[in-house]
């Protein structure tokens, strides 16, 4: 069953590249007492993710902050090294977007957002979605019907829904 509006996020540990290399990020600690946007993509460097989804949050980050969003977080079923490099390549890291890896798809599976597309080489990846989380509880969830589309889950889509 997929996560829904009103649900509490499950306990999850994601990873990122820190000053000393890979580091664990406890999602419940990251979201405690804060309002964040978590958007997920099928894969780093994949066409729609790279050219549309991440740039949409770079463009809207300041407008989201003006609406009370404390942080924007990108999650992908990739390792922290790929996420770190991708954040640098897209400008997301410089824009202050947290690039977090879910290498084993543990979080993605826990919230029921996994999918596979073997012909494209995508196994146990994340569906494309964005959610607003307030103190660990989902208050808005927008999932794309097709992983190649980035509309309701784009930064502009979330901004319009707030």
Contact 136, 28 (CB under 8 A): yes
The mean of the pLDDT values for the chain is 96
Q: What is the CATH architecture assignment of 13-161?
A: 3-Layer(aba) Sandwich (3.40)
Q: Is 110 helix (H, G, I), strand (E, B) or coil?
A: helix
Greater pLDDT, 118 or 63: 63
**pLDDT confidence band for 120 (50 / 70 / 90):** confident
Tokens 């494209």: give the residue: 120
8-57 pLDDT per residue, tens? 999 999 999 999 999 999 999 999 999 999 999 999 999 899 999 999 99
The pLDDT of residue 121 is above 90? no
Partnered with residue 76 across adjacent β-strands are 41, 101
> For the chain, what are the domain ranges?
13-161
Tokens 């400008």: give the residue: 91
Q: Give catalytic residues, as residue numbers.
A: 49
Residues ≥6 apart with Cβ < 8 Å to 47: 148
How far apart, in whole angstroms, are the C-alpha atoms of residue 153 and residue 50?
Answer: 14
How far apart, in whole angstroms, are the C-alpha atoms of residue 156 and residue 12?
Answer: 27
67-80 pLDDT per residue, tens? 999 999 999 999 99
The pLDDT of residue 88 is above 90? yes
The pLDDT of residue 1 is above 80? no
């Amino acid at each position: 069953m997929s996560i829904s509006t009103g649900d509490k996020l499950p306990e999850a540990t994601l990873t990122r590249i820190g000053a000393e290399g890979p580091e664990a990020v406890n999602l419940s600690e990251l979201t405690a007492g804060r309002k964040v946007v978590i958007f997920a993509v099928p894969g780093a460097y994949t066409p729609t993710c790279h050219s549309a989804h991440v740039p949409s949050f770079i463009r809207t980050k300041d407008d989201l902050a003006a609406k009370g969003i404390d942080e924007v977080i990108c999650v992908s079923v990739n390792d922290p090294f790929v996420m770190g490099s991708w954040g640098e390549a897209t400008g997301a890291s410089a824009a202050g977007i947290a690039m977090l890896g879910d290498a084993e798809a543990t979080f993605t599976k826990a919230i029921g957002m996994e999918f596979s597309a073997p012909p494209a080489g995508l196994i146990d990846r994340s569906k494309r979605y964005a959610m607003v989380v307030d103190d660990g509880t989902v208050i808005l969830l927008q999932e794309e019907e097709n992983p190649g589309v980035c509309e309701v889950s784009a930064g502009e889509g979330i901004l319009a829904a707030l």
